[in-house]
Chain A
Amino acid sequence: DAGITQSPRYKITETGRQVTLMCHQTWSHSYMFWYRQDLGHGLRLIYYSAAADITDKGEVPDGYVVSRSKTENFPLTLESATRSQTSVYFCASTRGRNEQYFGPGTRLTVT
């Protein structure tokens, strides 16, 4: 029972490169979320999805793209990475109107 997994766990990339962070959940939860966590800002919502092919912007969506073709997967793409996108990224899921279950996080460094 894997629950919710993220890959890679650590990533170093250069400014201007495209990078995709993967999130996979085994519960068939309808909702999935992407957050970033930075010192002094706490967790901030980037994008979320209520179901396959339905996505909505969160608090800080600029510079990010998401897609959700299958219920269990919710990849996050940085189309042209910038140093300000260096952060820890968390994926989460929920059935809806309930608590969220978080993945272990991906630590991304943009040099």
Chain B
Amino acid sequence: SQKIEQNSEALNIQEGKTATLTCNYTNYSPAYLQWYRQDPGRGPVFLLLIRENEKEKRKERLKVTFDTTLKQSLFHITASQPADSATYLCALGLNDMRFGAGTRLTVKP
């Protein structure tokens, strides 16, 4: 069966450092991979979408990579800030999306 794993439930880092979150998947060949941010008590908010023929995508302090051979995506937040603290979700596909369980990131000042 299809499986999506995000590296850890929680990640704590110091302000200013780069946060790296991992999303691994099995038994799936998605054409698209997306990352969302979710704050407590709120709905997910879209961050980045990357296609299978794209190796890397950037948006301000965010960078996503998509390795279809390793079946893995890495999500980086550079120069992290306490305001980046949230749960980050990876999602495979477009309209019939499958989500990972998320990684809760805490950036300490």
The B18-50 residues at the A interface (CB cut-off 8 A) are 34, 41-46, 49
Q: In the complex, which of the residues A58, A97, A101, A105 contacts B94, with contact meaning CB atoms closer than 8 Å?
A: A97
Interface-side segment among A14-22, A43-51, A62-70, A75-83: A43-51
- Contact status A50-B43, CB under 8 Å: no
Q: What B residues does A35 contact at CB under 8 A?
A: 99
- Contact status A102-B49, CB under 8 Å: no
Q: What B residues does A94 contact at CB under 8 A?
A: 95
Task: Classify chain B: how many residues form its interface, as a range.
Answer: 10 to 19
Q: In the complex, which of the residues B46, B97, B101 contacts A41, with contact meaning CB atoms closer than 8 Å?
A: B101
B residues apposed to A, CB below 8 Å:
34, 41-46, 49, 89, 91, 94-102
Q: In the complex, which of the residues A45, A96, A105 contacts B96, with contact meaning CB atoms closer than 8 Å?
A: A45
Assembled-state Cα–Cα distance A45/B97 (Å): 7
A residues apposed to B, CB below 8 Å:
31, 33, 35, 40-45, 48, 50, 56, 58-59, 90, 92, 94, 96-105
- Contact status B43-A104, CB under 8 Å: yes
Known contacts A42-B89, A43-B89: A101-B99 contact under CB 8 Å: no
- Contact status A96-B43, CB under 8 Å: no
Q: What A residues does B98 contact at CB under 8 A?
A: 45, 59
Q: In the complex, which residue of chain B has the Cβ closest to the Cβ of A40?
A: B101
Distance in angstroms from B36 CB to nearest chain A CB is 8
Q: What B residues does A41 contact at CB under 8 A?
A: 101
Q: In the complex, which residue of chain B has the Cβ closest to the Cβ of A101?
A: B46
Assembled-state Cα–Cα distance A58/B43 (Å): 19
